[in-house]
């Protein structure tokens, strides 16, 4: 499963790169480098505005919705009800599962959660 990420200040990038290393496959792709996706992908993004999806992620999804298989979003706990809400918005819009919601750059437990989801899809 290709990992494609959007990241403004580096939290999502770090999470995606750590995952890619643990998977031992291809590197995680920054969204701007992911114009020609050969197959299915897991999207990792962040939450912006007030519980919103970044405009860059929205624009990407308009072009690449067909191969989207799941979404992870980052946020910050202090946003309360809007914590990492971008994942809920995308899941609702595109009919894919929320694989994880992570605080900032996520934890080891978050990585396990995502790795297990990827593993289940392979099985």
Is position 81 an interface residue for ligand FMN (rule: CB under 6 A)? Answer: no
Is position 60 an interface residue for ligand FMN (rule: CB under 6 A)? Answer: no
**CA gap 55, 117 in Å, rounded:** 27
Number of residues in contact with ligand FMN, rule: CB under 6 A? 22
Name the residue with tokens 């080891």. Answer: 108
Which one of the spans 4-12, 27-35, 91-99, 110-118 is the region binding ligand FMN (CB under 6 A)? 4-12
Is position 79 an interface residue for ligand FMN (rule: CB under 6 A)? Answer: yes
Is position 107 an interface residue for ligand FMN (rule: CB under 6 A)? Answer: no
Contact between 99 and 5 (Cβ < 8 Å): no
In the list 47, 70, 100, 114, the residue contacting ligand FMN (rule: CB under 6 A) is 47
Q: For every residue of 14-58, which 3-state class applies, written as one string?
A: HHHHHHHHHHCCCCCEEHHHCCCCCCCEEEEEECECCCECCHHHH
Is position 94 an interface residue for ligand FMN (rule: CB under 6 A)? Answer: no
**CA gap 58, 72 in Å, rounded:** 14
Is position 10 an interface residue for ligand FMN (rule: CB under 6 A)? Answer: yes
In the list 19, 31, 42, 46, the residue contacting ligand FMN (rule: CB under 6 A) is 46
**CA gap 62, 9 in Å, rounded:** 23
Applying CB under 6 A, the residues found at the interface with ligand FMN are 7-13, 46-51, 74-76, 79, 82-85, 104
């Amino acid at each position: 499963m290709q990992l494609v990420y959007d990241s403004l200040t580096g939290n999502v990038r770090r999470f995606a790169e750590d995952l890619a290393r643990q998977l031992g496959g291809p590197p995680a792709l920054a969204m701007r480098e992911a114009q020609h996706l050969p197959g299915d992908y897991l999207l990792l993004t962040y939450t912006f505005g007030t519980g919103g999806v970044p405009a860059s992620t929205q624009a990407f999804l308009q072009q690449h919705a067909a191969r989207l298989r799941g979404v992870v979003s980052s946020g910050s706990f202090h946003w309360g009800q809007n914590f990492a809400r971008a994942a809920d918005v995308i899941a609702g819009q595109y009919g894919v599962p929320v694989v994880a919601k992570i605080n900032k750059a996520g934890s080891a437990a978050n990585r396990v959660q995502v790795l297990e989801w990827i593993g289940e899809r392979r099985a």
